Structure 1
Amino acid sequence: MSPRGVAIPDLRERLFAAAERVAARDGAAALTSRAITAEAGCAKGVLHTHFAGLDEFVAELVLDRFARSARQAQALEAKVGHATVAENLQDVVGALLDSLPPAVVGLAITRPAAAAHTRDGLRSGAPAFDAIQHAVASYLQAEQHVGRIPADSDAATIALALVGTTHHLLMTGSPEQTTDSTATVERLLAALLPR
């Protein structure tokens, strides 16, 4: 337990990681401010010192993980011409699907205050699925320029289909569906990417 009054480095990330562990291990019902701070080894009230409550905390966790996934998607640019197009896209989709435990996603969409805070963050420009879709489309266009996918491929539509499917899998998934999600993405990429 961190001593009272001592600044905790990277507190926000520490609390987020603790919440993910609690949700993954014990489910959405176990995700309380007390369980999160206990898992993080912090004082009981520290979450409420930095967030207006559990709903704001959950929304901020979701927004943070979406922003991290958007940064990972932007890194596709450096992969142009390397590995296969499908492998590069599978890496990004896999990272997005692993970005949040399904229990946290469930809380973010079923708790009205958390859902409202998440929507407000997205409306104010927090990166999420639209940023990921744009990064995927830009990557596919770059792969077109180097001749790894046909010039007449519709990069924007491929990106929309891939990111839309990923969004669906993330929002409706469960820990047991990881293998099914991976297989679904592989089938989708096989259908979308011209050979």
Structure 2
Amino acid sequence: MSPRGVTTPDVRERLFAAAERVLEREGPGALTSRAITGEAGCAKGLLHAHYDGLDAFVAELVLDRFARVARHAEGLPGRVGEGTVAANLLDVALALLASSGPTVAGLALARPAAAARIRAALLAGAPGFGTVQDAITAYLDAERLGGRVAEAADTGAVALALVGTLHHLLMTGGPDRGAERDRVARLVAQLDAGLRPDGPAADG
């Protein structure tokens, strides 16, 4: 999905950041192209000059934030042996939770046309939850080879549990980000306990 006419990343990110501020401050109902361009301090017609309507813009915003976190997650295998497994997993989990926030993800669900564009892009290979899940699995597999994850650990199931929980929180979460971060931290601690070479997974 490529916005039409966007020639510089600055214009795109300026509009994205403005939309996020409007959402955080006033909620999804206030998100209009006029509100976005007004918040960005640019001409009223700028969004429609570059995007085929608000749904296309919303879809591109969500996909961009997902891609940003996917790139972050893809760096996990490079951190094998560094820090702790739990800290590395939590870092990626919190990055995804804060990527565009429950408000932006929920906005996409409330706009069927935007949601359809997002689904189509993900099916076509755009980075998203599946990319993050694959990166977590690859990281845990590498940690297993290094002896920091139990040989019998089901790394794919752990990655699915973590990403599935994050997906749920993004789609249904409220404004209490602190509580959501705490829930994710507790989940990671439980998953990590099962991954350790001396944990339940080691018993086979």
Q: Same fold (TM over 0.5)?
A: yes
Displacement of 1:8: 6.2
Give CA-to-partner distance per residue, 1:120-167, whole Å, 9 cap, x none.
Answer: 111111110000000000001111111111111111110010110111
The alignment status of 1:146 with 2:146, answered yes or no, reads yes
Give CA-to-partner distance per residue, 1:61-102, whole Å, 9 cap, x none.
Answer: 001111111001001122111111111111101111111132
Letter in structure 2 aligned against 1:191: Q
Task: Give 2:117's aligned residue.
Answer: 117
**Contact preservation (8 Å) 1:77, 1:139:** yes
Identity across matched positions, percent? 60
The alignment status of 1:67 with 2:96, answered yes or no, reads no
Displacement of 1:38: 1.1
**Contact preservation (8 Å) 1:23, 1:101:** no
Give CA-to-partner distance per residue, 1:28-51, whole Å, 9 cap, x none.
Answer: 111111111111111000000111
What is the number of equivalent residue pairs in this alignment?
188
Task: Give 1:51's aligned residue.
Answer: 51
SS in 1 for 2:75: helix
Task: Give 1:4's aligned residue.
Answer: none
Closer, same or farther: CA 103–186 of 1 in aligned 2, 3 Å: closer
Task: Give 1:190's aligned residue.
Answer: 189
Query: Over aligned residue pairs, what C-alpha RMSD do you find?
Result: 1.3
**Contact preservation (8 Å) 2:102, 2:169:** no
The alignment status of 1:179 with 2:181, answered yes or no, reads no
Cα distance between partner residues in 1 of 2:121 and 2:170: 19
Letter in structure 2 aligned against 1:89: L
**Contact preservation (8 Å) 2:28, 2:107:** yes
Letter in structure 1 aligned against 2:105: V
Which residues of structure 1 form unaligned runs of 5+? 1-6
* Equivalent residues in 2 for 1:74-153, closer than 5 Å: 74-153=74-153
Cα distance between partner residues in 1 of 2:135 and 2:17: 26
Moved more, 41-50 or 182-191: 182-191
Cα distance between partner residues in 2 of 1:186 and 1:56: 34
Letter in structure 2 aligned against 1:130: G
